[in-house]
Each structure stands twice: as structure tokens, then as C-alpha cells.
Amino acid sequence: MTTKTISRRNFIKLSGMTGTALTLGIGFSALGKDSPVLTAALAEAQNIELNAWISIDTAGTVTIINHRAEMGQGSFQAVPQIIAEELEVDLNQVKIVFAQGSQTKYGSQITGGSSTVRGSYKRLLRLAASAREMLLEAASRKWNVARTELVAENGQVIQITTGEAISYGDLVADAAKLQPPKEVKLKSPRDYKVLRKPMPRQDIPLKTNGQAVFGIDKKIPGMLYAVVERNPRFLGKLKSFDDSAAKAMPGVKHILPVKMRVFSHDREGVAVVADSLWAALQARKALKVEWDDTAFPHHSSEQLYAQMREDVKNKPGLSFRTKGDFKRAFETSAKKLEAVYETPYEAHACMEPLNCIAHFQNNKLEIWGPIQGPDWVQADVADLMGLKPEDVTVNMTFLGGGFGRKAFLDYPHEAAVISKAIQAPVQVFWTREDDMTQGPFRPGMVYQCRGGLSDQGRLQAFETRMAGQNMDHQNPGADKMAYNSNVTEGFLETYLNSMPHYSFSDIPLESPIPVMWWRSVYSSTNGFAFESFLDELAHAAGTDPLAFRRNYFWDARYHELANRLEEVSGWKNRKPNEGWGVAITECFSSIVGEVVKVSRKPDGKIKIDKVWAVMDCGWYVNPDTIRAQVEGSIIMALAAATKHEVTFKEGKAVERNFDSYKMLRITDSPEIEVHVVDNEEKAGGVGEPGLPPFTPALTNAIFDLTGKRIRKLPFALEEV
């Protein structure tokens, strides 16, 4: 049996199809712009691994493999919506199944960097158009009618003159024998019927009646439940444990020490495995564990921030991007400005805490869980467990939030270790406290910005020095002297073109605290520093903050965004006693501008009257999904700006649950209006880029109203 037949069989198993089908994929061997679209039969004959995304069976049912995770951002809808457009089928005829993790089949599956659509839409369009053309060709041969006399519509091929129709299902057997076309013509966005329409999401009905299966809901036969007492300090070793009381409790099956990989280190803990989750949770309380925490510093937030504040002042930065001569241009500037901004450590706080099922048997491992990067888990967990990647199967469930945290492999690795040790399938459950205190966290940051204005108020020198933990420096063998190439994330590319002198550098902070991507990653904090400082510069120059930014726009796309933002928000009609703030950031190839209006309530407290957002993400799929993602991004940003932060004391995270990590609630949710720009630019990200501009737009609005500049997050809105 060859690998190819296994792949096909897997696909058929996944999709639940039987019998003849037209199955198309893209040859992975040469994955790139021109990689060929192939049928399953051709791929097999040529011994090419096929990533099978699409299949039409004799009943006309279209099955699409969603290679990305669905964590709320809408890939479950976006991928089929792209396929349905060029294939000319009703979205309701399309069945969606989650792919298993396989780098060789799907290319990168990591749902991060807002990349699902922007990373694959061109391939998906070409794949669907190829299938449509093959069905048209099959009909043309069957009827002996010229291809030009036929149209594809709603899952059928129709003869234009006679109106005679044949369903795709009746054509798949013939179409499967044809060669896919070498080139296909894609539709103009003007002709789209499905794309760019606010089609209802197909996962939503599953999420209103309790049917959607999240990781935590998944059960497999014979499954045991585990909870793990992990060291609350991040690098500590397990010294000893006393499980005599815990072992005697009802339902307890095993108690064992475990290690799971967190970047270059092993996080240590003691796992309690029982026949029910409740039993495991009770027994864990009876466990007595001693840790050895002598080999590393126990940082507090005060120490970390004192260090970062000192670093931005005194240490030379690792330089990433420079142009001209910042130092000289700054020194000769007519007006010089300097400001320090601080952003907190944050937890992802997904509503579904971490959890993962692993079943290790006969040197094979199967994993089920809420996983953002199934292919990464397959590769990395295989490596850690000493298995071949093909012996590790990773199944995605729905994710109850991800935001970057569920792209990490610690929790699947831990589940695999426990399953291997006890030789049984097991679900590892993280309590909210486990989820909140173990990280990885968004790193806290301190930024020092300096800028120089000419005597005409033109910005001629701009500098940012960022102090904070570098996520990449945690990897095994990382070069700790490597600069952070994300220090300009969030900054508009157009500014870099138009500013004569700039310098971006970073000073990495060393700490055992694990840090990781958090929705919009470095942009989520960089944006606050950049866009607050530009506002400070605009005020120093005596220029309207939106007009000030326009002075540095290099191309029309940015002007269009600013014009739209000005128009929808009524920026020109601002009144006294209102505070207005604007910010524009660029993140994962999308540009988002936001305006916030604030005022004082009769009791003197500040309230957010309204938020306007304009998203330019280029080519796009579903405007309603985009609106939802921008609304959600704004609310998550508002929460991080005004509600919560993770602090550390003696090397441990202090906030353990929602009683101390205060989540944003409906009472604090402002009115939000989102607009999507229509253009033909390359597709950019959707799930994250709406987040970075919100906080600076808010604090800029507060400055406009009160004259008070907020440079440290979080702050209490009601105390300004």
C-alpha cells in the first residue's frame, strides 16, 4: 500500500463520502503560484501528494476540507465561501469537515497572523474554478454541445439556448477522468454572487443549541480525566510529592510526575488521573507537592518594569530598521518630544480553558483538541515523543477562543506524555486558574519614543526603543543578541517611506516568564506607543491629528482610508465638550483606522460615546465576518486598556481567575460602527488588525477632552 492510497482513504474517511467522486487538490510538491491542480487519480499516478480540499460526489454534495482552525474568526465560513463562488454551487450544498494536522497535505495550517484567507485564497479560487471547468467540459462532451453554449450555475450545467440542465452529481464520474485545465479565468469581483456578501455563517446554528463540539466536549471510548498540579513558578523543578491521601480518594487511577515542553524548558507537574473529572479535581486538592525553585530569579512586576524603564534610557538597542541619521536630525530639530509608554502583561483568557485528549498506543499517537496549529502539533509533538510525524494524528475541534494561546504545543504534549505513561486515552483539563497563571502571556513592554519637528512643524526624526521580552529568544538555541524584527509592527509602511530619519530598536528583557502571541501580537502594544506619540507630535505641531498623519501618506490607499474615516465619523464636525481621537495602524497586511468619541457624563465620569472603524483588508470574503471581527477586536483592546492585566509577585502570576482578572462586560461595551473598504488590493488579515488602533484612539480622545495624556496601561476609565 502506498502513502497515496492512505491519503485518499483518509480523505474519504474524513468526508464520509462513498463511491465515485471528483476530487481535486493542489500538488504540494511544488506548492507555489503555479503548482498544478490535479485530480486524485492523476496525483496517484504521478506519485504526488495531494492536498485534497474539495470533492463532489454523485449526489452533488460538495465536501470541502477546512485546513484551518475555527476559533471564532470565521474560517469555517470563509474557506467554503471562496470555493462556492468559483464552483457555482449554493453554499448550503457544501459540507465542511476539519482537516487533520498534516503539513505535507495542506501546507501551513497554523491559524495565526490572520492568515487563513490571505494565505490561501488564490489557490482556493483556482481549485474551485478548475473543478467547474472540468464539469463544464464533461457536460460539453456528454451532450456534444460547444463549451461556449454552456453555463455553470447552482450546482448544475445548463445549456443556454434550451435551458436543459444536468446536475454536477451526474457529471462527476466523467469529469474525474479529465485533465484539469492548465489555466482558468477567475471572476471579476464585480460578478461575485457569494463572495463579498454577508452570508450567514454555517457554524452559528451549532453554537446556539449546544451542538458544537469544543475540545472540552469531546469524549472518546475509555477516556480517563487528568488534572495537573504544575509549578506556579515557571522554571521550577519537582522536588517531591506526597500522594498518599490523594491516591486513596474514589475514582483515582494514577498519580504521576509529568514534564511538558515550554520553549527551551520543561514545565514540571504532578498529574492526577481519575475516572471522572470531578474525582480528579478532588484528589488534586489532597496532593502535597514540594518544588525546587532555587535555580532562577523570582521576578515581580515592579522589578520587571523598573528594569525595562532603565533599559530604554541606558542600554544600547538592538537595531532593526534605521534610515538617515536620527540622532543628528533630532538634535537639530526646532521642537523635540520624548515620551515613555508602558503596556501590561496579559492573559489570553479564552473562554474555553486549555484542554486536550491524547491516546497513545502501539507507538502511535492520536490527539483531539482545540488546536490552532494542528500541523505544528503533529511535527513538534512527534519530535518530543520520539515518533514519526505520520504516526501522530491531530484532530481539530471547535475552539472556544484562541487568540494565539492555542497555537502553542505545551498542552497537547502534556496530554501525550500522560497517555503514554498510563497506556490509556486521557483528557487533560486545565482549570481557569491553571489557564490564567501558567502563561505564556503577552509580554509587558516599555517604549521610549523621541521625535523632532522642523520649525514648520514637519516631523523629521522619529525613534522608538522598545524594552520587553522577545518571544523568539525563548526558542532552543536562540541568538539572544538578535534584534526583534517586530518592533515596527503596527507602524504604517507609508510613514517609513516618507520620514527622512528614523530608528527602531529593542532591548530584550530576560525573564523566566513564558511569553507568546496575543491577538495582533506586537502590534497590540506597539500601536499604542506609535499612535499616541504621533498624536503628541501633532499637538506639538499645532496640527489636526488626522491632517498631521496625512502629511506622511505616501500612496493613495492611505488617503482613501483617512478620507473614509473622516467622512463616516463626522471628524470635521467635532464640537467643544467632546473628545475625539484617531489612530491608524497596519497589521498583517491590513490597514485599520479608528476614531473614538468620548464625553463626560453628568457625574463627571468619562464615557465612550461611539467608535468608528474603517478596515482596508484588500480583497475580502464576508463583510459581516469582518465587522464582527473588528467589533470583537475593539472590545478586547478596550478590556486590555481599561480592565485587566497580569502582574507577578515572587515569580508567580497573581491574577488567578475572573474575580481578579476583570473581564470586560456588556455594561462597558460601546457603540461600534465598522466600514469595510472595497478594493482589489491583496487580501490582508481580518481577525487581528482591528485591535491595535483602538487604545491609542481612545487615549487620544481622552487627551482631547481633558488634556490628560495616558501613557501607561491599563487605566481606569472612571478615574480619569
Partner 1 sequence: MASISFTVNARPYTVDVDPKMPLLWVIRDVIGLTGTKYGCGIAQCGACTVHLNGVPVRACSLPVTAAANKAIVTIEGLSADNSHPVQQAWIEEQVPQCGYCQSGQIMAATSLLKRNANPTDLDIDAAMQGHVCRCGTYPRIRKAIKLAAQKMKNPTSKS
Residue 48: other Cβ atoms inside 10 A: 18
Length of the chain: 720
CB of 621 to partner 1, least distance (A): 14
Contact residue for partner 1 among 64, 66, 72, 346 (CB under 8 A): 72
Least distance (Å) from partner 1 to the CB of residue 336?
Answer: 39
- Which parts of 107-233 fold into alpha helices (H)? 116-143, 172-175
Question: Binding to partner 1 by residue 646, rule CB under 8 A?
Answer: no
Decide: is 352 part of the binding site for partner 1 (CB under 8 A): yes
CA–CA distance, 436 with 347 (Å, rounded to integer): 6
The residue (of 135 and 630) whose beta carbon lies closer to partner 1 is: 630
User: Looking at beta carbons only, is 92 or 209 nearer to partner 1?
Assistant: 209
Site for partner 1 in 510-569 (CB under 8 A): none
Among 90, 154, 177, 200, binds partner 1 (CB under 8 A): 200
**Interacting residue with partner 1 among 236, 353, 593, 689 (CB under 8 A):** 353
Compute φ and ψ for 543, nearest 5 degrees. -115, 145
- Using only C-alpha atoms, the chain has a radius of gyration, in whole angstroms, of 27
Is residue 609 a contact residue for partner 1 (CB under 8 A)? Answer: no
Which residue in 450, 447, 599, 459 sits closest to 542, CA to CA? 459
The closest of 136, 155, 156 to 145, measured between CA atoms, is 136
Nearer to partner 1, 344 or 512 (CB): 344
* Degrees to nearest 5, angle at CA 257 with 252 and 259: 130
Q: Taking the complex as a whole, how short is the minimal distance between the CB of residue 353 and partner 1, in angstroms?
A: 7
Chosen residue from 201, 253, 261, 675 binding partner 1 by CB under 8 A: 201
* Residue 518 bridge partners (DSSP): none
431 touches partner 1 by CB under 8 A: yes
Q: Which of 44, 164, 203, 578 binds partner 1 (CB under 8 A)?
A: 203
74 lines the binding site for partner 1 (CB under 8 A): yes
Max distance between CA atoms of the chain, in angstroms, equals: 84
Task: Using the minimum distance from each CB to partner 1, give the nearer residue, 236 or 353.
Answer: 353
The residue among 72 and 692 lying less far from partner 1, judged by its C-beta, is: 72
Spell out a b/e string for 394-431, using b for 16 or more CB atoms within 10 Å of the CB, else e: bbbbbbbbbbbbbbbbbbbbbbbbbbbbbebbbbbbbb
Q: Which is nearer to partner 1, 546 or 636 (CB)?
A: 636
Site membership for partner 1, residue 236 (CB under 8 A): no
Nearer to partner 1, 19 or 205 (CB): 205
By CB under 8 A, tell whether 432 contacts partner 1: yes
The residue within the footprint of partner 1, chosen from 401, 404, 425, 581 (CB under 8 A), is 401
* Residue 634 found at the interface with partner 1 (CB under 8 A): yes
Only segment of 180-188, 193-201, 465-473, 696-704 that touches partner 1 (CB under 8 A): 193-201
The single-letter DSSP state of residue 431 is -
Among 476, 473, 530, 484, smallest CA distance to 507 is for: 484
**Contact (CB, 8 A) for 271 and 256:** yes
Interaction between residue 350 and partner 1 (CB under 8 A): yes
Q: Which is nearer to partner 1, 1 or 666 (CB)?
A: 666
Count of residues interacting with partner 1 (CB under 8 A): 59
Residue 203 or 383: which CB sits closer to partner 1?
203
Site for partner 1 (CB under 8 A): which residue of 23, 61, 66, 73?
A: 73
Q: Is 669 a residue that touches partner 1 (CB under 8 A)?
A: yes
The reply on whether position 441 binds partner 1 by CB under 8 A is: no
Determine if 245 is a binding residue for partner 1 (CB under 8 A).
no
Alpha-carbon gap, residue 520 to 113, rounded angstroms: 7
**Rounded CA gap, 349 and 585, in Å?**
24
320: nearest Cα among 506, 585, 451, 493: 506
- Strands (DSSP E) contained in 554-708 are 579-587, 590-600, 606-616, 648-649, 652-653, 672-676
Helix (DSSP H) and strand (DSSP E) numbers for the chain:
19, 28
Should residue 71 be labelled a site residue for partner 1 when binding is judged by CB under 8 A? yes
3-state secondary structure 521-553: CCHHHHHHHHHHHHHHHHHHHCCCHHHHHHCCC
Residues 204-223 that bind partner 1 (CB under 8 A): 204-214, 216-217
Between 322 and 657, whose beta carbon lies closer to partner 1? Answer: 657
The footprint of partner 1 (CB under 8 A) covers 71-74, 198, 200-201, 203-214, 216-217, 250, 276-278, 282, 349-353, 398-403, 431-432, 624, 628-629, 631-636, 657-659, 663-667, 669, 671-672
